[in-house]
Structure 1
Amino acid sequence: MSCTITEENQAHVKKITFDWVSAADGTASGTTEGVYSGLVERLVTIPDATDAPDDNYNVVINDEDETDILMGAGAARDTASTEQVLASSLGCVANDKLSLAITGAGSGKAGRVIVYLK
């Protein structure tokens, strides 16, 4: 299992990209180095073109209080299609690191999760 995290802090929008590969049990995880505050404006999930995750895999991004800032919107992601969720279905974070948790992806599968905060 591996997870590479790219953190971009622009003037008004923060973009956090999690590139993940699942372990044999279908899970992947990673935690940001930076601390974040703001509203989650957009979630994008992109399955890998070669090693796509199993259908209906799950994405959770927890704050340091173990609360999913996606408010469940990362559940049952598609194996083949890029999917997006907009702010009206997402939460917020206050001065916390963010921890990605992927489940149900299958062994050695890969994908990308992008979160935009404002």
Structure 2
Amino acid sequence: MSPFHRRDVLKAGFGIGCGIAGIAAMPAEATERLPDIPLFDARDGGPVEHARAHVETMRKLLQTCLASLPVTARWGASGIDSAARSWLRASGSPYVGELDAIAALLKESGVYMLNTSYE
């Protein structure tokens, strides 16, 4: 499978916070410097197997996301994470099982909280 190029997405108009007008104004050389975004075939085990194969990368991503939060939110991450998991279960989210497995792999708070922040 060929790598997915972020610059191709930006050129197609799907850049986060950019929109079509932002893409048109972006110099071509700016999009050429963006790193490739790797793709994985989710049919081969789905997100849990992908996480299992990349545990340290997942942990660094989680830690980086949490580091961007205010200190008080980081202190309360465990409680916020627990509340987010409860909400996901109560709302019937089909992803709770996958999130449970990924959280068990990482053994750190924040998986559910970050997931709900993007839903």
For normalisation by structure 2, the TM-score amounts to 0.22
Q: Name the larger-Rg structure.
A: 2
Return the structure number with greater relative CO, CA threshold 8 A, min gap 6. Answer: 1
* Larger proportion of helix: 2
